[in-house]
Amino acid sequence: MKPEEVQIPEDALSERFLAATGPGGQNVNKVATACQLRVDVFKLGLPPHAYERLKVVAGSRMTSGGELVITARNYRTQEANREDARRRLVEMIADAHFVQRKRKATRPSRAAKAKRVDQKKQRSEVKRGRGKVDF
């Protein structure tokens, strides 16, 4: 699924603004610009395989109560951090819908095995020819 196709219901989201950390002088101390986005994963209506994969993709950002917590504090404004948090959420959900193909076990053919052995013999001859010369 592409990020453009992801639909997130507004009632599944809740936002809180926190004081950001790091450099920024007085602006950091007086303005709550960091955005903490909380998502109720059960309200997203994901299929079971996507839900399981979302738990893996989210890692420690997923709570035991089924809530996904994304904190965005890269920008100096609330709006920019809100957009960043929502963009990251959409990317996570899109990644969760990706289904990996099953790996099909393969085996080298008899011709491939013979070719590999011939190459090993040829290389062995080259290396054997490098020894000390006996007069």
CATH number at residue 76: 3.30.160.20
- The predicted pLDDT at position 59 comes to 85
Structure confidence at residue 45 as a pLDDT band (50, 70, 90): confident
Between residues 99 and 125, which one has the greater pLDDT? 125
Residue 103 has pLDDT above 70, yes or no: yes
Residue 113 lies in a domain: no
- The predicted pLDDT at position 2 comes to 67
Residue 135 lies in a domain: no
Residue 80 lies in a domain: yes
Mean pLDDT of 42-53: 83
User: In which domain, by residue range, is 42 found?
Assistant: 3-97
How many separate domains does the chain show? 1
Residue 34 has pLDDT above 90, yes or no: no
Residue 70 lies in a domain: yes
Q: Residue for token digits 């395989």?
A: 49
Average pLDDT over the chain, rounded to an integer: 84
Mean pLDDT of 85-109: 88
- The predicted pLDDT at position 5 comes to 67
Q: Which long-range contacts (CB under 8 A, 24 or more apart) does 103-112 make?
A: none
Residue 23 lies in a domain: yes
One-letter amino acid identity for 80?
A
pTM, 2 dp: 0.66
- The predicted pLDDT at position 24 comes to 65
Between residues 24 and 55, which one has the greater pLDDT? 55
Residue 102 lies in a domain: no
Question: Strand pairing partners for 68?
Answer: 39, 62
Q: Residue for token digits 């738990």?
A: 55
Residue 116 lies in a domain: no
